Amino acid sequence: MRLLLMLIAWYFAQPAAASDLPGLIADPANWAIQTGDFANTRYSTLDEITRDNVGTLRPAWSFSTGVLRGHEGGPLVVGDVMYVHTPFPNTVYALDLKNDGAILWRYEPRQDSQVIEVMCCDTVYRGLAYDDGTIFLHQADTTLVALDARTGAVKWSVKNGDPTKGEVNTATVLPIKGKVIVGLAGGEFGVRCHLTAYDETTGERLWRAYATGPDADILFDPKTTTVLGKPVGAESSLKSWEGEQWQIGGACPWGWFSADPDLGLVYYGTGNPASWNPVQRPGDNKWSNAIIARDIDTGVARWVYQMTPHDEWDFDGVNEMILTEGAVAGRDRKLLTHFDRNGFGYTLDRATGELLWADKFDPSVNWASGVETDPASPDYGRPIRDPAFSTDQDGMGEDMNVEGICPGAPGAKNEQPAAYSPKTQLFYVPTNHVCMDYEPFRVAYTAGQPYVGATLRIFPGPDEVGAFKGDNPMGSVTAVDRATGKIAWTIPERFSVWSGILATAGDVVFYGTLEGYLKAVDAESGKALFRFKTPSGIIGNVTTYRHDGRQYVAVLSGVGGWAGIGLAAGLTDPADGSGAVGAYQSLSRYTALGGQLTVFSLPR
């Protein structure tokens, strides 16, 4: 009888199925979605922890995940339960916040370990999603699983891709309006990727949209889908590829999703075209490296904008879209801001796709001098390239090494999400201050085999962002003004800042470093306020929540990802990891493998 009563009490302690995601997002006690909200601001209105007391922050408790690979993403908090994920094999834990984080249930997927061999840049996973009593897990092998949030029981599952072709998953999903929107990875294997919506309750596929190919496949209406305010025209993607190359064109949506429920739109970015050798794929290669706004209900594209036509440097466009509102050029608008791997930050009108400003957020960017923002120009929206850093070299780039390209392939910013504070009206951007030498070579396509076609050497960028103890910094946290795109201040870091940033109403900005430090700085000035060394390098995203009247800050540590692939996978050849092993070889002096959640609070 006692056991039965305990089980009943435990069951009713779990989040109620009647809860809905918009309501949970509105309550800052929860952290119910990886991005903090549908707008991807990663901002919390909690203000118990302030610039004045954050220096007294202390670890409250911790939890070992049992996995020693790169830990991206972060935990979810819904009521009295925290949901924690791991990299491959994508184990899920439900932890009881009322009982010192005791394990309520765990879900351990059975996946073929051969999936690891076709995962680019470590076995990372960017986190779970929650809605209406269900936890959504998109496994590395592309199996989408719906778990009962109370018990961990499988409600339904569906396969979204084929790992034997190189189709895998590293991204979280977006539950919205009764749908689960999911992406795919695999551009380095010549996969033709898609975005798909499934029914939250049944797992039924509702729509699927590719980024390359005929209009019927990419769900473009040539008359109503626009690019920079004009109809995109018929077969816009097909016209930008040579022959049938669009069928192995990549353009994978492996990053983050944002949504505007009022406009009924979901926003996301597409990845690089395949292969990395631009000589083999003439044309703009649409719609790779693009921002796409799609109707949530139908998947039909409302507008599209391509940041890097004919990408020659692996500048995926998958980084998060941050949705804000405010005045730009004297007019109030609904805005979308995107800090791209190519080193430029972009702000567009998110209703129409009109480009409002584009500016460098790392001064070392040299592949282009700027972006044409004059709507009257025939080159409106296109980058102003410097031909000295082209890896195509007018079609003569085979086996030609191009040196000193900035940024390097990891980008001036990778997938690690920025944050936005409506109090300061600043974006807080985690950056990679790296450059590269790039040598393309011809590569043949074989399904399920790497389809890259370039050798890279990655190295720290110039010390324009400020020297770090005598060495050129490899990263920074950079504050960018919402209205103008201008840099307000920069904090240099020894290594790339590969952690997602958190901004709070307490005027504190949190982030993690590859050495393993959780850091806090003043949201207005960037002044250092706090740091604590966790057991391993941090590539996870900092989150916050309130429980029993106290504010907590949580972060996953576990070095890995592209920057930490040498440590994570035991690689030693400097050329491995597309040059990342050599670039970050000194990281092993500062941290080691791990897999731990650390939760902080103020002392009582």
Predicted confidence at residue 69, as pLDDT, reads 96
Mean model confidence pLDDT for the chain: 93
Q: Which strands form 419-421's sheet, in the order they lie side by side?
A: 419-421, 426-432, 475-481, 487-493
Q: Determine contact, residues 494/472, Cβ cutoff 8 Å.
A: no
Instruction: Give the strand pairing for 502-504 and 43-44.
Output: parallel
Predicted confidence at residue 471, as pLDDT, reads 65
Q: Which one has a higher pLDDT value, 200 or 100?
A: 200
Residues 6 or more apart whose CB falls under 8 angstroms from that of 148 comprise 133, 134, 135, 154, 155
CA atoms within 13 A on the CB side of 588: 12
Q: For residue range 543-565, what is the model confidence (pLDDT) as tens digits? A: 999 999 999 999 999 999 999 99
Check whether 10 has a pLDDT greater than 70.
no
Q: For residue range 143-159, what is the model confidence (pLDDT) as tens digits? A: 999 999 999 999 999 99
Least confident of 6-15, 158-167, 286-295, 591-600: 6-15
Q: For residue range 490-511, what is the model confidence (pLDDT) as tens digits? A: 999 999 999 999 999 999 999 9
Q: Which strands form 143-148's sheet, in the order they lie side by side?
A: 129-131, 134-138, 143-148, 154-159
Q: How far apart are CA 180 and CA 31, in angstroms?
A: 18
Q: How far apart are CA 566 and CA 588, in angstroms?
A: 9
Burial of 590 (0-12, 13-18, 19+ CB in 10 A): middle
The one-letter code for the residue type at 553 is: V
Kind and range of the H or E run holding 24:
helix 21-26
Q: How far apart are CA 100 and CA 88, in angstroms?
A: 26
Report which of 134, 148, 150, 143 is spatially closest to residue 80, judged by C-alpha positions: 150
Q: How far apart are CA 134 and CA 78, in angstroms?
A: 11
pLDDT band at 122 (very low <50, low <70, confident <90, very high): very high
Mean pLDDT of the 77-95 span: 98
Q: How far apart are CA 491 and CA 468, in angstroms?
A: 10
CB environment 496-531: b (16+ within 10 A), e (fewer): bbbbbbbbbbbbbbbbbbbbbbbbbbbbbebeebbe
Predicted confidence at residue 463, as pLDDT, reads 77
Percent of the chain with pLDDT over 90: 90
CB environment 104-119: b (16+ within 10 A), e (fewer): bbebebebeeebbebb
The 8-class DSSP code of residue 122 comes to S
Q: How far apart are CA 490 and CA 495, in angstroms?
A: 14
The one-letter code for the residue type at 403 is: E
Q: Is the peptide bond before 578 cis (omega within 30 degrees of 0)?
A: no
Residues 6 or more apart whose CB falls under 8 angstroms from that of 172 comprise 34, 73, 125, 126, 127, 128, 129, 138, 256, 257
How many structural domains is the chain composed of?
Answer: 1
Domain holding 380: CATH number?
Answer: 2.140.10.10
Q: Which one has a higher pLDDT value, 604 or 255?
A: 255
Q: Which two tokens stand for residue 501?
A: 């940033």
Check whether 470 has a pLDDT greater than 50.
no
Q: Determine contact, residues 69/560, Cβ cutoff 8 Å.
A: yes
Q: Could you identify the residue written with the tokens 């309501």? A: 23
Q: How far apart are CA 11 and CA 197, in angstroms?
A: 30
Predicted confidence at residue 16, as pLDDT, reads 42
Residue span of the structural domain in which 373 resides: 2-601
Predicted confidence at residue 397, as pLDDT, reads 47
Q: Which two tokens stand for residue 253?
A: 């949506």
Instruction: Clarify whether 314 is annotated catalytic.
Output: yes
Per annotation, catalytic residue among 314, 316, 340, 507: 314
Predicted confidence at residue 400, as pLDDT, reads 81
**What is the separation of C-alpha 450 from the centre of its chain, rounded to a whole number of angstroms?**
22
Q: Give the 3-state secondary structure of 446-510.
A: CCCCCCCCEEEEEEECCHHHCCECCECCCEEEEEEECCCCCEEEEEEECCCCCCECEEECCCEEE
**What is the separation of C-alpha 547 from the centre of its chain, rounded to a whole number of angstroms?**
27
Q: For residue range 168-189, what is the model confidence (pLDDT) as tens digits? A: 999 999 999 999 999 999 999 9
Instruction: Give the strand pairing for 81-85 and 205-210.
Output: unpaired
Residues 6 or more apart whose CB falls under 8 angstroms from that of 529 comprise 51, 54, 55, 508, 520, 521, 522
Q: Determine contact, residues 128/158, Cβ cutoff 8 Å.
A: no
pLDDT band at 8 (very low <50, low <70, confident <90, very high): very low
Predicted confidence at residue 561, as pLDDT, reads 93
Kind and range of the H or E run holding 43:
strand 43-44
CA–CA distance from 421 to each of 42, 239, 487, 491, 501 (Å)? Answer: 8, 41, 15, 17, 11
Mean pLDDT of the 116-138 span: 95
Q: Could you identify the residue written with the tokens 């590269």? A: 436
Mean pLDDT of the 245-263 span: 97
**What is the separation of C-alpha 312 from the centre of its chain, rounded to a whole number of angstroms?**
21
CA atoms within 13 A on the CB side of 323: 23
